[in-house]
Structure 1
C-alpha cells in the first residue's frame, strides 16, 4: 500500500487495487490534477476537509470516481452528487473494502459549538483515516494510522494516548495545517509513541510505502 500526503487531512491511498483520495480540503494543495481515482472520501463538512470547487475539478477529471460523504456534508455540496455513508457501513470502492467507523460525531471543540457528523474510514482493515475524532478502529492490529496532531479540539496528550491505545505498526501525522510549528508536535508524538510503532513523516506530495 502506498500513501501520498497533500498537506493537512488530504491523503491519497493506493492499495494496488484502488486509488482513494481522502479529504480534499482548503488547507491542502497539489491534488486537483490527480486522475485514475476510484473514490473520493470526505470525513466531514469543515472547509479544511472539503473544498467544493476543488472537488468539482477532481470529479471532472475522474468521472467514474465515487464520492462518499456523511449525510450532512452531502446536503451542503450544491450540485454535487454524493453517496452517503455512516459508521457501520462497508463499502466496495474499486478493489478496496472501506469500513466506516467512529461514533458518527466530530470531536468536541467546545460545548457551545454544535457537533457535526464525522466518518472515520478503515481501508482493507489496514489503514485508518479517523477524520476529526479519536475513535477505536475496531481491529486488533492496525498497520497504518493517519493521526491528527493539531486542531482546536485536541492537545498533544490526547494524540499520544490515542496513538498508544491503537498501537499501529506505522503512524503518519496529519492535520497539521493549524500549527505554526508542526515539527514541535511531531517530536512529542515520536518520543512518546509505542516502541513497536514506526513514526513516518512523508515529504509532501511524495508517495511512500506503508
Structure 2
C-alpha cells in the first residue's frame, strides 16, 4: 500500500490501482484528478476534514465511491449517499478494510461543544485518529500522527504516541505550523517513537511512503 500525504489532514492510500481518500478538507489542494477511488473516509464534520467542494471534485471522477463518516458528517452531507460509522465498525471496500475507533473529538475548549469523531485503521496497518487521541486496541504498524491543532498540546501527542507504540510514524494535521514549528513538534514525536523502537518520517504534501 502506498500512502500519499496531501496538505493538512488529507491522505490518499493506493493499492492495486484502487484508492481510499481520508479527510479531504478545505486546506487541501483541489483533488480533481484522482481515479480509482473506492472510499472516502471523513473522521468528523469540521471543514478542514469535510468539504463539499472537494467531495464533488473526487466524485466527479469516481461516482461510485462510498463516503464513510460519523452521524454528524452524514447529516451535514444529507444530499450525498453516505454510510454512518461508529466505534467497532468494520467494512471491506474493494481491496481495503476499514475499522473505526472512538466516538468523540478532542476538547478544544470547555465553551465549545464536543462533536463526534471516528479514527480509522486501514488494512490493520495504517491508523489515523482524526482529531482525537483514541488509542486502538491492537498493535499499529504505521501511525499518521496529528502534530498541530487548537485541540492538542505536544505533551498530549507524546503521551498518545507512547501509548500506541507504532513501528512507523509520520506527521499529519499540520497546516498550522511554520518550518520552525514542524522541526520542534516533529522532533518531540520522533523522540518518543524511537524510544519505543519505531521510526519517524516527515512527509511533506505530495510525498509518498510504502508499507
Short-chain TM bin: over 0.9
| Residue in structure 1 matched with residue 189 of structure 2 by the alignment | 189
In 1, are the aligned partners of 2:157 and 2:189 still within 8 Å (CA)?
yes
CA distances 1:167-186 after superposition (whole Å, capped 9, x unpaired): 11100110001223323211
For residues 78 and 182 of structure 1, the distance between their equivalents in structure 2, rounded to whole angstroms, comes to 37
Q: How does 1:108-187 map to 2 (within 5 A)?
A: 108-139=107-138, 141-180=139-178, 181-187=181-187
- 1:196-207 maps to which residues of 2 (within 5 A)? 196-207=197-208
In the alignment, structure 1 segments of 5+ residues that lack a partner are none
Question: In 1, distance between residues paired with 2:133 and 2:194?
Answer: 17
Give the whole-Å Cα distance in 2 for the aligned partners of 1:149 and 1:203.
13
Report the number of matched residues: 208
TM-score of the pair, normalised by structure 2:
0.93
- Superposition deviation, residue 111 in structure 1: 1.2
Preserved CA contact (<8 Å) 1:170 1:198: yes
Larger CA deviation: 22-31 vs 46-55: 22-31
Displacement of 1:78: 4.9
Give the CA deviation at 1:33.
1.7
Q: Distance in 2 between matches of 1:179 and 1:144?
A: 22
CA distance in 1, matches of 2:149, 2:68: 23
Q: Flag the 1:17–1:166 CA change in 2: closer, same or farther, 3 A.
A: farther
Determine the C-alpha separation between the residues in 1 that align with 2:131 and 2:122: 17
CA contact (8 A) 2:98 2:121 kept: yes
CA drift at 1:30: 5.0
Q: For residue 194 of structure 1, report the CA deviation from its aligned partner.
A: 3.5
Paired residue secondary structure (2:114): coil
- 2:137 and 2:60 map into 1 onto residues whose CA distance is 35
In 2: Cα distance, 1:186 partner to 1:169 partner? 16
User: How big is each residue's C-alpha offset from its partner over 1:131-187, in whole Å with a ceiling of 9 and x where there is no partner?
Assistant: 000011111x21100000101111111111110111111001100012233232112
Q: Is the 8 A contact 1:91 1:97 kept in 2?
A: yes
Per-residue CA deviations over 1:9-54 (Å, capped at 9, x if unaligned) read: 1001124474211000011125332111110100000001011111
1:88 counterpart residue number = 88
Mind listing any 5+ residue stretches in structure 2 that lack a counterpart?
Answer: none
